[in-house]
A and B are shown apart, each in its own frame.
Chain A
Amino acid sequence: MVQISSNLLYIAFILYLIATFFFAGSIKIHSDKAAKKTNRWSLIGILITIIGFVSQVGYFITRWIAGGHAPVSNLFEFTTFFGMMLVAAFIIIYFIYKTPVLGVFTLPVALLVIAYASMFPKEITPLIPALQSDWLHIHVTTAAAGEAILSISFAAGLIYLIKHVDQTRRSQRTFWLELTLFGLIATLGFIAVSSAFSSAGYETKFSWVDKRGSDAETVYHMPALVGPHKYEMKTKGNMAPLAEMPAMVNAEKLNTVIWSLFGGIIIYLIIRLVSRRRVAALLQPLVRRIDLNLVDEIGYRSVLIGFPIFTLGALIFAMIWAQMAWTRFWGWDPKEVWALVTFLFYAVFLHLRLSKGWHGEKSAWLAVIGFVIIMFNLIAVNLVIAGLHSYA
């Protein structure tokens, strides 16, 4: 069952990848004025996406049956589920607005998310008592669905900015847009570097001294660029660290971050060198025919649809469950606070739009920031800031 489940996820991943090319292809042909074929290409694209989605739902159900609980209980499962919801949200929005270009941007984000998820341990973990509740799937799935729909506004915002921001001259806007795209590329870098080293089975053991002065051990899965405080290498023959970190810093995580940035920068530089253009400029032809007002509306609508679902899942259901499991509905745990931050941010988004008339580009930038906050809550809060939610 577990094997079937992971195969289904793999199939879904491949199908999303293929669908992305079909959506991209539909745009290419469009510019060749073969209007009739457009529909066929994007129709095939959405069809493949749906089959991929069904396959991923299959992964979800089989894993649920195998594990006896909804597979949303650790970082791998949750992040994968988030990717699945992203695809679901895209499918819904696609049928409302019929814009294949949205697929060209949403599906790669979903692919990155799912690939990123698979970097975490994939075993089915037993549930600790606090998680043994029906609210596990009610709360987590609703929250993930809300976040996924909100993320669609990021894709729409990105499309808006790629088309709207003037690439003929350097400006602050081109810089920030490149940085946003670099963020996505760095994720790709992380996935590439860590899967490369893990398939090579790279491992270096260190013993080191932690901040309380006691001995600790840690295992690196990538060559050590920075070593832990007062380290001693236990594995012979591997690369020795170039620098030593103070005890305060988690050197292993920092090392991974450095490698990911390194990988990201290399990919980015290759793209820049080959194309001799900014990545955003490179993507511009894809969005040439898109109607800015329509993209702006897609972004706004996905916030409108996602905000209530997010509030329900990440705040209200969360509070109900927290009252049962942790005896209080709200305890200022980092994850709770960041859910509140996300809520407040999108509240600001809506107020600025409704009352201050922040449409178009301003709205698109806000959507990008919103996505950064969601990703921060999804990833950094669990990995960096320890709290009650760090189950992974």
Chain B
Amino acid sequence: MKEVKCECGHINPVGTVICEACGRVIGDGDGSEKLLDMRYEASPRRSQHYNKTIVDKIWNFFSSVKVGVWLIVITLVASAVGTIFPQEMYIPPTIPADQYYKQEYGTLGQLYYQLGFDNLYSSWWYMILIASIGISLVICSLDRVIPLYKALKNQRTAPREGFLEKQRLFGITEDSADGVDIPSIKQNLASKRYSIKEENGSILAEKNRFSRWGPYVNHIGLIIFLFGALLRFVPGMYVDETLWVREGETKEVPGTDGKLYLKNEKFIRQLYNKSKDDQVFQDALKKNPAVIKNFQTNAVLYEKKGDTLPGEQPELKKVETDKIQVNRPLKYKHFAFYQSDYKLDEMNKMKFRLIDKKTQTSFGGLTIDLYDPKKDYNLGKGYRVELLNYFPDFEFDENSEPVTKSRIPNNPAFVFNMVTPDRPKGEASFVAIRQTIEPEGNNKYKMAFNGIETQNVTGLTVRKDMTLWFLAIGGAIFMIGVVQGAYWNHRRIWIQRKKGQVWIAAHTNKNWYGMKREIHSILTGTALQEPKDQLDEKS
């Protein structure tokens, strides 16, 4: 590859189609092309022509639109593949992923899992794809916007020989006696908001050049957006925690370094009611009666005053009271609390009566706080119940021993010792829901179930996302760029007087139909003939 010397003596960079100095069409040789390739104003993208160092090679790789398009296509296909089966984050947490995919989707599912598609969007190769698109965005834009800017800035009002006739819209009118009414053409152009430059009787009318920057503006927006996405990894920018709070309970909010506490005053779940709610929902509710109307946590947010240590009694200041609903998070400083999950009717207290099995006589009742049971419950008059053991989430383990699965009282079971005046050593009894076992058999007394108290638990998502601003700005710039590029068209019209003829040529970066109509209305009544579409002649 060599630099190109123009007739005028100017040395142009390799790949030049139009001389930088004089604007002559140089071309790559035979000049057989009927129309000029105006994509980048026929200016050279130098990057394509230097390929010496490794840096240049990498640069050129990412500078290619072909590579960019391939990157997008690969990302597109990969993304689509990721939706064939659910991602790991959406599968039920109760089954391990390696079993789930095989069980639910058979061999294909197993293959999907083994190939790592279950976590596709956070896989290293997907991230490399996205990052490569980002790199391609930066380099492609830099490589094109600078030459384009220079070319448009230095464009000639009166292009040289060979430029006009190689435009798609081109026409020649003989300048007859009555003459082409140039001043009224200029007036018409101005009324269509063209800016007009004149040089020795040659006219260049141009409008909406800014539309050409649209693609680069939207690329900048995308780059900012991707940068914002990258920021999420920076510690302190992003918090995503789950907070489960029982009604009446106050808990420290995770992810806030112990600064915030949240109290769940009440959790409400409402269903649509067939008779009470709007009549129009009748039919839908008949088919599917349980439609949820509202999830709501009445919450109080506290901020910790002073510098107490974890475990110390904190001094709390109420800062916010709110009804948290889906779509209506509670926001405080940089944190937002979202209603995201719940558990209804979790057992809280359990009531029993001590009775004589035969006579059903009651000797008093007791209420066990399932979160804080006592060792001893005195019923008076010599009747007493000792709690020998407590299993909040009872099951039998592999050795048929009673154990607890968790600390949550989902299925409470108790071992009581019932001490009565006539059985001073007491009778032992194992009591679970709908189940009583008497280790010694034949007890005289019994702990009779006497009701439960329940409470709701709310599951809130605690979120801090400092990257949102970047994403919003990136998104906004992208939209501006894309609208600027798509909804406006860069249009130019050249008019020249030559040897008793008037030449007209026009170029637009898109929407030729609109361009032709505009030329039609500009030239009406001016004796200048409308330029022909040279593409039509070809076909």
Contacts and interface: CB of A to CB of B under 8 A. Distances in A.
A104 B293 CA distance: 44
B284 A312 contact: no
B511 A297 contact: yes
A129 B325 contact: yes
A387 B90 contact: yes
The interface residues of chain B, by DSSP majority, are classed as helix
Interface in A271-318: 292-294, 297, 300-301, 304-305, 307-308, 311-312, 316
Interface stretch (A18-26, A120-128, A151-159, A186-194): A120-128
A292 B535 CA distance: 11
Contacts of A386: 86
Given A327-B340, A331-B89, 14 more contacts: A124-B280, A126-B277, A129-B294, A129-B327, A130-B327, A248-B106, A308-B486, A316-B479, A328-B463, A334-B83, A344-B72, A354-B39, A356-B66, A386-B86
Interface stretch (A31-39, A41-49, A216-224, A345-353): A345-353
Contacts of B294: 129
Interface residues of A, number: 63
Interface string A348-391: 10011011110000000000000000000000010001110000
A155 B294 CA distance: 43
A67 B327 contact: no
B468 A323 contact: yes
Interface of B: 39, 65-66, 68-69, 72-73, 75-76, 79-80, 82-84, 86-87, 89-90, 103-106, 121, 215, 240, 272, 277-278, 280-281, 283-285, 287, 291-295, 325-329, 336, 338-340, 461, 463, 468, 471, 475, 478-479, 482-483, 486-487, 510-514, 533, 535-536, 539
Given A129-B294, A344-B79, A356-B65, A123 B284 contact: yes
Given A325-B326, A329-B471, A125 B65 contact: no
A205 to B, nearest CB: 16
Given A304-B486, A355-B39, A355-B65, A126 B76 contact: no
Given A297-B513, A305-B486, A308-B487, A211 B104 contact: yes
A312 B486 CA distance: 14
Nearest to A247: B106
A-B pairs with lowest CB-CB distance, top 7: A129-B326, A123-B284, A355-B65, A123-B283, A327-B338, A334-B83, A344-B76
A293 B536 contact: yes
Contact of A308 (B281, B284, B327, B482): B482
A338 interface: yes
A311 B79 contact: no
Contacts of B283: 123-124
Given A329-B471, A332-B82, A351 B69 contact: yes
Nearest to A316: B475
Interface string A86-97: 000000000011
Given A125-B281, A319-B475, A133 B486 contact: no
A332 B39 contact: no
A238 interface: no
Contacts of B511: 297, 301
A129 B75 contact: no
